[in-house]
């Protein structure tokens, strides 16, 4: 039989395709197996995060069930403390393997400054495009930011449903709310600074009115979500602005006095950003952890046990991105993970923003 050039090319192409298909799955499986073996050999994983221990432990327990040879050390701290500690330790030649923080802008600054290493996770295909930056910074949650109030002390008719409603409430009932409103302190809270600067970018005209209203009622600022929630629950404060609804929902399940509103004009959505440190001593364990957090199993734990909100669209339920989209649709404003977050971290712009905030809100 005479083999023509065309027949030979077809046979060669078929062989190459068959070889690719035949080798594809084993090659990927072998790569995953190699990662697991390398991670188990390291035997340790060090994580710096701002998520409460109780919430994180659900994830750590499942991770250790899957990979019992890897010991996990988790340190919980504030957003600003995490940022400063990571930089300080990196300069000394060591660092955590993974950082995980809701201060998205500070995380992106660290990545942009060269503190991260890339990881092309198979799980990132399930993330929204805005939640993966250069395969170095990854969004892991989908947490709405809302207004939290005391249901016993604020009549249902007065509960604001939008930012405009909130401003109107403070300006028409100034005496009632004087000293009774709280929010994050942008000077001490990394996530608080990010949220108010995002407010300004999303709604510049309304933001000026918001600052005046907060100043008129002598808003109380805090660095801790827990402190703000406690004061609202006790009645020391009546209402809180820009609080994380994930934390409020957890509190509301135990305390019927806590009410939550996700503004219908726009609701900011933050995502806890995770990256693997460039100087990680246990890089393979770090990659395995990141893969686990972004996996469907990890995301289901985030939604059902860790009292956060899952970002993967294929995870269903009230505390998920898909559940929120059914509820709020186009009102959701997820904060994109990119260099746009660095705008107000420019020292001159940061100082100018805080000067203006302190002048209007704190009367300094």
Q: Which domains does the chain have, with CATH numbers?
A: 41-140+272-315 (3.40.190.10), 143-269+343-362 (3.40.190.10)
Q: For residues 224 and 190, give the distance between their C-alpha atoms in angstroms, rounded to a whole number.
A: 11
Q: Name the phi and psi angles at 188, rounded to 5.
A: -110, -20
pLDDT of residue 116: 98
Measured in whole angstroms, the distance separating CA 274 from the mean position of its chain's CA atoms is 8
Q: CB of 114 within 8 A of CB of 347?
A: no
pLDDT of residue 363: 78
**228-234: long-range contacts at Cβ-Cβ below 8 A with a sequence spacing of 24 or more?**
228/148, 228/182, 228/183, 228/184, 229/148, 229/258, 231/182, 232/148, 232/149, 232/150, 232/182, 232/258, 233/150, 233/257, 233/258
pLDDT of residue 8: 39
Q: Where are the alpha helices (DSSP H) in 244-282?
A: 245-254
Q: For residues 311 and 235, give the distance between their C-alpha atoms in angstroms, rounded to a whole number.
A: 33
Tens of pLDDT along 80-136?
999 999 999 999 998 899 999 999 999 999 999 999 999 998 999 999 999 999 999
Using only C-alpha atoms, the chain has a radius of gyration, in whole angstroms, of 24
Mean pLDDT, the chain, whole residue set: 91
pLDDT of residue 1: 43
pLDDT in tens, the chain (364 residues): 444 444 434 444 444 333 333 333 333 444 889 999 999 999 999 999 999 999 999 999 999 999 999 999 999 999 999 999 999 999 999 889 999 999 999 999 999 999 999 999 899 999 999 999 999 999 999 999 999 999 999 999 999 999 999 999 999 999 999 999 999 999 999 999 999 999 999 998 899 999 999 999 999 999 988 899 999 999 999 999 999 999 899 899 899 999 999 999 999 999 999 999 999 999 999 999 999 999 999 999 999 998 899 999 999 999 999 999 999 999 999 999 999 999 999 999 999 999 999 999 987 6
Q: For residues 156 and 78, give the distance between their C-alpha atoms in angstroms, rounded to a whole number.
A: 34
Work out the burial of residue 225: count CB atoms within 10 Å of its CB; fewer than 13 is exposed, 13-18 middle, 19 or more buried: buried
pLDDT of residue 90: 95
For residue 222, the number of C-alpha atoms closer than 13 Å in the C-beta half-sphere is 20
If we measure between CA atoms, which residue out of 157, 114, 263 comes closest to residue 203?
263
If we measure between CA atoms, which residue out of 128, 130, 144 comes closest to residue 311?
128
pLDDT of residue 5: 45
What is the three-class DSSP state of 44? strand
CA end-to-end span of the chain, whole Å?
94
Rama region for 202: left / alpha / beta (φ>0; ψ in -120 to 50; rest): alpha
pLDDT of residue 364: 67
């Amino acid at each position: 039989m005479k083999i023509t050039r065309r027949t030979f090319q077809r046979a060669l192409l078929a062989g190459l395709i068959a070889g690719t298909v035949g080798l594809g799955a084993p090659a990927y499986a072998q790569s995953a197996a190699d990662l697991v073996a390398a991670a188990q050999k390291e035997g340790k994983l060090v994580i710096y995060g701002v998520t409460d221990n109780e919430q994180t432990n659900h994830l750590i327990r499942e991770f250790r069930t899957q990979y019992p040879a890897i010991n996990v050390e988790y340190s919980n701290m504030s957003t600003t403390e995490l940022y400063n500690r990571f930089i300080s330790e990196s300069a000394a030649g060591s660092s955590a393997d993974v950082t995980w923080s809701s201060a998205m802008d500070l995380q992106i600054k660290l990545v942009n400054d060269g503190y991260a290493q890339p990881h092309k996770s198979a799980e990132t295909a399930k993330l929204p495009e805005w939640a993966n930056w250069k395969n170095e910074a990854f969004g892991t949650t989908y947490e709405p930011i809302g207004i939290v109030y005391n249901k016993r002390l604020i009549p249902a008719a007065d509960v604001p449903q939008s930012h405009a409603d909130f401003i109107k409430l403070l300006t028409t009932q100034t005496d009632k709310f004087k000293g009774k409103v709280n929010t994050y302190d942008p000077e001490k809270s990394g996530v608080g600074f990010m949220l108010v600067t995002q407010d300004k970018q999303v709604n510049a005209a309304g933001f000026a009115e918001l600052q005046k209203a907060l100043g008129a009622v002598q808003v109380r600022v805090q660095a801790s979500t827990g402190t703000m929630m406690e004061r609202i629950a006790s009645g020391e404060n009546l209402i809180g602005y820009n609080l994380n609804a994930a934390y409020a929902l957890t509190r509301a399940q135990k305390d019927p006095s806590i009410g939550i509103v996700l503004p219908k004009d726009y609701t900011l959505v933050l995502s806890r950003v995770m990256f693997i440190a460039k100087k990680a001593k246990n890089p393979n364990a770090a990659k395995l952890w990141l893969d686990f957090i972004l996996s469907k199993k990890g995301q289901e734990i985030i939604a059902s046990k860790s009292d956060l909100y899952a970002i993967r669209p294929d995870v269903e339920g009230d505390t998920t991105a898909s559940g929120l989209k059914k509820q709020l649709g186009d009102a959701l404003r997820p904060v994109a993970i990119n260099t746009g977050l660095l705008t107000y971290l420019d020292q001159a712009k940061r100082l100018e923003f805080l000067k203006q905030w302190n002048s209007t809100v704190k009367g300094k």
